[in-house]
A and B are shown apart, each in its own frame.
Chain A
Amino acid sequence: MELFCLGLNHRTAPVRVRELFAVGTPKLGQASHDLMAGVEAAEAVVISTCNRTEFYIAAENADEARHRLESQLASQVPENEDLATHFYTMQKGEAARHLCRVVSGLDSMVLGETEIFGQVKQAYQAALASGATSGVLNRLFQRAFGVGKKVRTETSIQEGSTSIGNVAVDLAEKIFGHLKDSEVMVLGAGEMSRLTAQALVSRGARSIFVANRSYDRAVELATEMNGRAVRFDEWQSVLEKVDVVISSTGAPHAIIHRADVEKARRARKFRPLFFIDIAVPRDIEPAVGEIEEVYLYDIDTLEQLAEEARLRRQRQIEDCERIIDSELAKLNLPGT
C-alpha cells in the first residue's frame, strides 16, 4: 500500500483555478468516498479550504490511481488550462510531511494560522464517517494532528496577530480585558473601520456607535453590526461613554484634537480610552496620545506590530520543521 497526495493551493493556482476544484464542507465525506471509488484506491481523504484542495490517497498501485485522478481532474477544466502547472504531487514520506506542515499552519497563506487544523480535522472526520479511510490514512491523519498540536505548543508559530484588525483587538483586550463591558465608537464607515469594529464585536464588545458624515451610511453600518448610528456632529458627546474609538474617515486633516478629548475626561472620570486611527491622513492629532489615560495607535504602529509578529513566526519555521521531522522519524507510518 502506497500513500500519495495530489493538490493545489494559493501558491500554485489562482482563485479561478482553485474554485473549479473546491468542495463544500457538507460534501467532503461523499467526495472522499467518490474519489476512493473513482480512482480504485483503498482509502481517500479530500481536503478543501478557500486556499487549497488536496487529495490524500492510499492505493495498492499508486501510479495507476494517480493517473486516474489526473484524468478525472483534467476533465473538470477548460481545454486551454494546463493542470500540470497548478497541481503538485507528493509521495510516501513526503506526502506525510506535507500533511503535517499543512496541519501546523506552515503551508498557509497566513503563516501559523490555526483555522486550518480544524478544517483538516473536519475533512478527515467526514471521510472517516463515509467509510473512505482505513489503516493507512487513519494512522497518518491522527499522527499529523498530534504533530500539529506539538508544533503549536512547543513553538510560538501562532503567537501575535498578523493583521491590523487583530492587532487592534488584541490591544483592546490588553487594556480592557473581556470586551463585554466595553463600548466602541466608529468614526467613518469605511471598510477598514468596519472590519476592525466587526473583530471587536466578535470578541464580545457590548455596543457600537457609528458616526459618519453621511448619516445614511452610518445607519447602514450600525444596522449591520447591531449598533446605533449617531450624527457626525454628535461624536463628542458619545466620547464620554465609550472605551474604544476607531477612526477611519476620509478627512484631509485631523478631526479629533487634544482639546476635544480633554473636554470629555471629567465626564469619563479619567477611565482608560483606546484610540485606533487607521485613516491616512491621520484623523487623530498625535498630542491626544499624550493624555495620561489615552492609548493612541495609528495605522503605521499597528502595521509595524503586525509585521513584527509575522517576522517572529518566520523565525519559528526551522523549529517547527525540526519537530515535524523528528516526530515523523519516530512514527514509521504505513504507506510511507
Chain B
Amino acid sequence: MGMDRWFLIAATLLAAVGGALGMLSVHRGQRSRWTVLWMAGAFVCQMGFLVLRGEARGACPLRDLGEILAYLAWSLTLFYLLVGPPYRISLLGVFTAPVIAVFQAVALIPGVLTATPARILQSNPWGETHSATSVLAYGALALAAVAGVMFLVLDRQLKAHHLESGLFRNLPPVRELLISLERLLWLGGLLLTVGIIAGFLMPRKVGTEGHFVAAVSVWLCYGLLMGIKKVRGMTGRRLSLSAVGLFVVSLVVFAFV
C-alpha cells in the first residue's frame, strides 16, 4: 500500500476520533475544546495525501472519485479551520468531522481510489482551475449545509422549548449560525463562479454538455437563493433547508451526470 493511502487512513481516523470525542463531550454538556486539534491533525494528513497524489499525477489530483472525495474533505477541513474561530469552532468541528470521515472512508473503499495514479501528460491551466475551484466551492457549500443542519436542530429545540440537552447548551446562537451560513454560501458561490468561468475557457470534450448544464443549473440555483436572501430576506429555516437541499441535490446530480 502506498504512502498516500496511509496518509488518507490517518486523516480518516483523526477526523473520526475527533468527531466521536466531540460528540461525547457535547453529550455530557461540555464544550469540545480539542476537536480543532484533531481536525488540524487530519488537515496535515490530507495535505500529505494530496501532495503525494499531485506529484504522482503531475497535476491537480482530481482524476478519480477517490481523489475528488479526498479533496472535498480537505476543502471542508480548510474552511472549518478558516471560518471556524469566530463561530465557536468546536461544535462546527463536531458536526463537520463525521462528514469528512465518511467522505474519506468512501474514498478508501477498494477501487474508488486508483492504486497507481497515471501521470497526466497534457494538463490545461483552465481545466485545473475549473476542477480545483469547483471542488473547493463544494467544500464551502458543504460546510454551509452543516451550519444549516446546526441551525435546524437549534431552531427546533428553541421552538419546542426543549432546552435541556448538552447539544443545546453547546450550539452557537441562532444569529451567529445564520451569519456563518450566509458567508459560506457567498464564498461557495464565488468559488463556483470562478470554476464555471474557467469551465467556459477550458477545452471541452464531446459529451460533457450534461455536466456543463448541471454545473450552470446548480450555480443558478445558488445565485437565486442568495439573491432572494439579499433582496427580499428569508427565514433562517428556509435558508437552512435550501442550503442543505441544494447541496444534497447537486451532489446527486454530479454523481449521475
- Interface on A for B, CB 8 Å cutoff? 156, 171, 173-177, 181, 266, 268-272, 289, 292-293, 295, 297, 301, 305, 308
Contacts and interface: CB of A to CB of B under 8 A. Distances in A.
Contacts of B235: 270, 292-293
Interface residues of B, number: 21
Interface stretch (B66-74, B118-126, B137-145, B167-175): B167-175
Nearest to A301: B161
Interface of B: 29, 154, 158-159, 161, 163-164, 168, 172-176, 178, 232-238
Contacts of B236: 270, 272, 292-293
A271 B235 CA distance: 6
Contacts of A272: 174-175, 178, 236
A270 B233 contact: yes
Nearest to B238: A292
Contacts of A181: 175
Contacts, number: 53
Given A292-B238, A295-B159, A308-B164, A176 B233 contact: no
B28 to A, nearest CB: 10
Contacts of A269: 232-234
Contacts of A171: 158, 163
A266 B29 contact: no
The secondary structure that dominates the A interface is helix
Contact of B175 (A177, A305, A308): A177
Contact of A176 (B29, B163, B174, B237): B174
A184 to B, nearest CB: 15
Given A156-B29, A268-B233, A272-B175, A295 B158 contact: yes
Contacts of B164: 308
B237 A177 contact: no
A110 B235 CA distance: 39
B240 to A, nearest CB: 11
Nearest to B234: A270
A175 B174 contact: yes
Contact of A177 (B154, B158, B176, B238): B176
A305 to B, nearest CB: 6
The 8 closest A-B pairs by CB, nearest first: A269-B233, A177-B173, A292-B235, A270-B235, A270-B233, A293-B235, A175-B174, A177-B176
A173 B173 contact: yes
A156 B238 CA distance: 36
Contacts of B154: 174
Given A156-B29, A292-B238, A295-B159, A175 B175 contact: yes
A177 B233 contact: no
Nearest to B161: A301
Given A175-B158, A297-B161, A305-B163, A292 B174 contact: no
B174 A266 contact: no
A289 B159 contact: yes
Contacts of B168: 174
Nearest to B168: A174
A174 B159 CA distance: 12
B172 A177 contact: yes
22 contacts: A156-B29, A171-B158, A174-B163, A174-B168, A175-B158, A175-B173, A176-B175, A177-B173, A177-B175, A181-B175, A269-B232, A269-B234, A270-B234, A270-B235, A270-B236, A270-B238, A272-B174, A272-B178, A292-B238, A297-B161, A305-B161, A308-B164
A133 to B, nearest CB: 37
Contacts of B161: 297, 301, 305
Contact of A174 (B29, B158, B234, B237): B158
A123 B222 CA distance: 61
Contact of B174 (A174, A270, A301): A174
A174 B164 CA distance: 13
Contacts of B172: 177
